[in-house]
Amino acid sequence: MSIRCETASKKRWIKMNSQLPLTKIVFIAGIAVLIFLNLYIFILAYPETYAVNAGINTSGTILAKDFSAYYMGAWRLWHNPAHIYTFGALKDGEPIILPHPETYKYLPSFLLITSPLLSLNYQQALLAFDIVQFMLLPLMAYLLYKILDNKPLAVTFVVMVVALLLPFPTAKWGLFPSYYWQWGEGQAKVFITFLLLLSFYFGYRGKPYLSGIAFAFGFFDPRFGLLAIPLFVMYNRKNLKKATATAISALALSNVMLLYPGMGSGFIGMVFSSAINTPLYYYSLIPLFTLLSLIIVNYKEIAGAFNPKRKTTNLTDTTKQ
């Protein structure tokens, strides 16, 4: 009888171990499919980067692509910093972007990241910016896999579908409008999503200083930075003081140029004149839904981070099977 039990136990063990690699293979293949589909969207959106039309602009105003705000903002940061937040073109030797460049609406710290693109012309820089962001997608998948290490693979994959593809059927823009316009407008929503995920990953790995720096640079669009705070606290709860102090310091230092005459007032004017009224376009749903999905699947851990006396599941108690 005992021999039969031993044999049955060994068979179950062998079966479990043979199924585990297959599950992970299917999981990895699924991620590859998501990125391949995104590549297809990238190719479809490429002609849009040259189009001169209202695009996704709800007001119908014809402006250059959203990337024009980053490109022109970076140029003005080094040549005319008082006018970073000035709408339209200035006749002071700046690059000509037709019909008019978009208004820059982020914190100036982001311009430190995009400044190297000034070595290229506008259209080349837009394409390079899109390509760099596309190359971040596999890294985003890896970061999500690691920070959701204690969640079932099925849950992790659902979050990856949101972050890497975001199917969102629309009558006018098809099945994937968020990523189509992300690439077509040269938007920065993949970049901000990556930086916030990187911050969570460093916090998860017990590296609060790196987590704080990544979070500070991912805060260039404060709407998503504020939404990410519960996750930042959760993943850094063991080193929260260090991570928070680093984030605040890095945020202040990287935006110290706001003290430059005209820049700070321009930023405040922009916030109250246009930023508050800016709608959440489809590409904004990429970081929004990614953060919301992470908040949902980690709601117990988040509650525990804000209420240390409450007993919650430790992030490292279990690993994926």
Residues 76-89: tens digit of each pLDDT = 999 999 999 998 88
Q: Is residue 205 assigned to a domain?
A: yes
> Per-residue pLDDT averaged across 146-174, rounded?
93
Q: Is residue 11 assigned to a domain?
A: no
Q: Is residue 8 assigned to a domain?
A: no
Q: Is residue 18 assigned to a domain?
A: no
Q: Which of 56-65, 223-232, 311-320 has the lowest mean pLDDT?
A: 311-320
Q: Is residue 293 assigned to a domain?
A: yes
CB 199 within 8 A of CB 214: yes
Instruction: Considering only the C-alpha atoms of the chain, give the largest distance between any 2 of them, rounded to a whole number of Å.
Output: 92
> Per-residue pLDDT averaged across 224-239, rounded?
97
- Domain range spanning residue 67? 32-51+59-306
46-56 pLDDT, tens digit each? 999 999 887 77
| Residue 170 dihedral angles phi and psi, to the nearest 5° | -135, 155
Q: Is residue 316 assigned to a domain?
A: no
Q: Is residue 181 assigned to a domain?
A: yes
CA atoms within 13 A on the CB side of 299: 4
Residue whose C-alpha is closest to residue 50's, from 154, 122, 118? 122
> Per-residue pLDDT averaged across 105-127, rounded?
97
Query: Binning pLDDT at 50, 70 and 90, where does residue 295 land?
Result: very high
CA distance 143 to 31: 13
Please count the structural domains in the chain: 1
Q: Is residue 176 assigned to a domain?
A: yes
Residue 109 has pLDDT above 80, yes or no: yes
Q: Given its phi and psi angles, is residue 11 left (phi above 0), alpha (psi -120 to 50 degrees) or beta?
A: alpha
